[in-house]
């Protein structure tokens, strides 16, 4: 058993293993892929292109790469993470120890409570349900509403979530900081303020403001806040551009 | 000829021949070899190693580093912790929730005064050691999670981090924040007190007002057109079975995408 001539494969149950050793005849992985048809062929071709593109870009690029590996995960990153984590979890624990939860009377289908409210983070949605006063009455239908106020409210929820969802497809380009895109930043501020005012609207029976005024404020305040932040950001942008220009001309003084 | 298999690469003998190893090292190698013989761990370790180096060896200089911009927006950076804080609060809620689950029973069946679910909550709050605190912890971590998620979304919005190539993560985020709120809503119904019951009523009405499929949705989610024992049972299963799996998976994908794409930096 020890000499070299004896090492022909005696161990298989018989016959060939069916495993072909790679030699010149055996197609490589990429060749096997290249022979494919249809969609997998397209996938392969695209991947090859993409890989070549990456390669080219990397070769052309003057992008500076670090010659260090970055911060060591231990202890630097881990100590920081542990500190943040324990601070944060500690905060939750202190909150729960000092402000214990409430439990109401048992459910009773035959007595409707004065105030029905969800948790605070659903107030905005609840407020949108109370927008019935905006539901258009069509004179065409003889003052009838096209949909019930309830349907209108649910639709308002969908519209708001939908608008937030398509933001990346509306606002393109490489601007990131609020000063670089005053318009979108002020839209954001208006949105945040609206989420508060609409939340207040949802508890309107608890708010000592007259109803018509509250309805108006719900929509006016966000617009005002939006305009103010637009003005502020615009003027900040002037200062920002001034600094950039100054730096530029310091580096390359005009001849 | 013996039936004993011959060991081509006699790792055992190799191990014996190494007398410079400590007990820990020997034990480690023995386990590793045993597992590797059966599971070919070596291949997978190689893959992992490959991944590790691809990720860590050559980090391009970040935009901030390259242009020395660090001093300009350090004040944004704390806000970048909000996503991790959402995850943390989620973990705390999951742990405290699992513990609450040891004691809670859904059950809104008719009884003169209060339901089984309500009695269980009373038991947790009044009799169980630390039960009061446990419920408090669960509620607060849920609230803090929603707050953190909302602020995280604002951070992403105001730093323009949703732009190409991160649109998908933004959409995924919308799904996540909605599911977080559904999580909160279903949990809100579980004590089956007055608030829960009437919040349930609002939910039923909301589903009913959806055109065409409203009644079907109300039946599916709430098991009827007024809150009833089936409603509680369904909210319970949503809260402790469906949502945990779905949300955990989505958070993993969300963070996985952040890992693949890197954090967007302000320009
Ligand atoms: C359960 C809720 C969520 C969790 C646990 C979560 C977690 C995270 C984490 C850990 C990050 C890494 C960066 C950071 O921490 O800021 C991140 C990034 C991101 N999140 Fe979330 N997130 C959640 C909800 C959302 C929501 C509601 C949105 C937006 C609608 C969103 C959109 C994004 C985007 C676009 C990024 C990439 C940001 C960048 O590259 O700078 N996420 N998320």
pLDDT digits (tens, 9 = 90+) for A91-100: 999 999 999 8
For A58, the closest chain B residue by CA position comes to: B60
- Are B178 and A161 within 8 A, CB to CB? yes
* pLDDT for A2 beyond 50: no
Q: Give the max Cα distance, chain B.
A: 83
Query: Lowest-confidence range among A145-149, A152-156, B57-61?
Result: B57-61
| pLDDT-based confidence at residue A47 (cuts at 50, 70, 90) | confident
Helix (H, G, I), strand (E, B) or coil at A12: coil
- Are A154 and B206 within 8 A, CB to CB? yes
Map out the domains of chain B as residue ranges: 11-55, 71-261
Q: Is residue A230 part of a domain?
A: yes
Q: Is residue A198 part of a domain?
A: yes
Q: Is residue A138 part of a domain?
A: yes
Of B247, B245, B242, B227, the residue nearest B178 (C-alpha): B247
pLDDT at A1: 42
Q: Does the domain spanning B71-261 belong to CATH 3.10.20.340? A: no
Q: Is residue A78 part of a domain?
A: no
Number of domains chain A contains: 1
- In terms of pLDDT, which residue wins out, A132 or B162? B162
Rounded CA-CA distance B177/B164 in Å is 21
ipTM of the complex: 0.77
Q: Which atom of ligand 1 is nearest to the CA of B166?
A: 35
The partner residue sitting opposite B197, judged by closest CB among A84, A107, A181, is A107
Cα→Cα distances A113→A51, A209, B96, Å: 64, 22, 30
Q: Which residues line ligand 1 (CB under 6 A)?
A: B 80, 82-84, 86-87, 149, 152-153, 156, 161-162, 166, 169-170, 173-174, 176-177, 180, 251, 254-255, 258, 263-264
Helix (H, G, I), strand (E, B) or coil at A109: coil
Q: Which residues of B touch A109 (CB under 8 A)?
A: 197, 226-227
User: Which residues are within 8 A (CB) of A212 and not within 5 positions of it... i.e. 6 or more apart?
Assistant: none
Q: Which domain holds residue A193?
A: 120-239
Q: How far is the CA of B180 from the centre of ligand 1 (A)?
A: 13
Residue with tokens 């349930």: B200
The partner residue sitting opposite A106, judged by closest CB among B92, B113, B206, is B113
pLDDT at A176: 83
pLDDT digits (tens, 9 = 90+) for B233-265: 999 999 999 999 999 999 999 999 988 887 887
pTM assigned to the model: 0.81
pLDDT tens digits, chain B, 267 residues: what are they? 556 666 667 788 888 888 888 899 899 989 988 888 888 888 888 788 777 766 555 556 666 666 666 556 666 778 888 999 999 999 999 999 999 999 999 988 766 678 899 999 999 999 999 999 999 999 999 999 999 999 999 999 999 999 988 999 999 999 999 999 999 999 999 999 999 999 999 999 889 888 888 899 999 999 999 999 999 999 999 999 999 999 999 999 999 998 888 788 765
């Amino acid at each position: 058993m020890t000499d070299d001539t004896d090492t022909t494969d005696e161990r298989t149950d018989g016959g060939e293993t069916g495993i072909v050793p790679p030699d010149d005849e055996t197609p490589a992985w990429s060749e096997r892929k290249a022979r494919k048809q249809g969609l997998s062929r397209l996938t392969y071709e695209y991947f090859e292109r993409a890989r070549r593109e990456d390669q080219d870009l990397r070769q052309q690029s003057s992008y500076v790469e670090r010659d260090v590996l970055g911060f060591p995960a231990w202890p630097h990153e881990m100590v920081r993470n542990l500190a943040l984590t324990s601070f944060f979890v500690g905060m939750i624990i202190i909150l729960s120890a000092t402000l214990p939860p409430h439990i109401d009377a048992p459910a009773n289908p035959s007595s409707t409570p004065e105030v029905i409210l969800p948790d605070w983070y659903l107030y905005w949605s609840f407020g949108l349900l109370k927008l019935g006063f905006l539901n258009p009455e069509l004179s065409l239908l003889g003052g009838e509403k096209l949909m019930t106020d309830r349907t209108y409210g649910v639709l308002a929820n969908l519209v708001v979530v939908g608008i937030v969802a398509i933001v990346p497809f509306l606002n393109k380009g490489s601007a990131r900081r609020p000063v670089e895109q005053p318009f979108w930043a002020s839209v954001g501020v208006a949105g945040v303020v609206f989420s508060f005012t609409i939340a207040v609207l949802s508890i309107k029976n608890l708010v000592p403001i007259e109803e018509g005024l509250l309805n108006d404020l719900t929509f006016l305040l966000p617009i005002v806040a939006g305009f103010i932040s637009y003005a502020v950001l615009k003027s900040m942008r002037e200062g920002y551009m001034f600094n950039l220009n100054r730096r530029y001309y310091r580096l390359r003084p005009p001849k | 000829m013996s039936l004993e298999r011959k060991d081509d690469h006699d790792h055992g003998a190799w191990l014996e021949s190494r007398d410079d190893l400590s007990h820990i090292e020997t034990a480690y190698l023995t386990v590793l070899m045993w597992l590797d013989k059966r599971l070919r761990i070596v291949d997978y370790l190689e893959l992992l190693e490959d991944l590790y180096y691809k990720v860590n060896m050559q980090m391009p200089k970040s935009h901030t580093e390259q242009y020395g911009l660090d001093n300009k927006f350090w004040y944004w950076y704390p806000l970048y912790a909000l996503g991790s804080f959402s995850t943390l609060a989620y973990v705390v809620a999951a742990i405290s929730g699992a513990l609450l689950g040891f004691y809670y029973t859904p059950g809104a069946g008719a009884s003169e005064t209060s339901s089984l679910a309500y009695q269980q909550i009373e038991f947790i709050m009044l009799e169980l050691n630390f039960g009061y605190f446990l419920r408090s912890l669960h509620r607060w971590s849920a609230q803090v999670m929603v707050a953190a998620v909302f602020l995280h979304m604002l951070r992403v919005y105001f730093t323009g981090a949703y732009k190409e190539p991160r649109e998908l993560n933004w959409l995924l985020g919308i799904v996540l924040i909605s599911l977080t709120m559904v999580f909160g809503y279903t949990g809100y119904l579980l004590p089956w007190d007055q608030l829960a019951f009437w919040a349930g009523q609002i939910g039923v009405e909301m589903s009913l007002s959806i055109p065409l499929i409203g009644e079907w949705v109300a039946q599916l989610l709430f098991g009827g057109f007024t809150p009833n024992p089936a409603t509680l049972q369904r909210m319970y299963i949503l809260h402790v079975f469906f949502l945990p799996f779905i949300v955990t998976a989505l958070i993993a994908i969300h963070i996985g995408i952040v890992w693949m794409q890197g954090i967007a930096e302000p320009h």
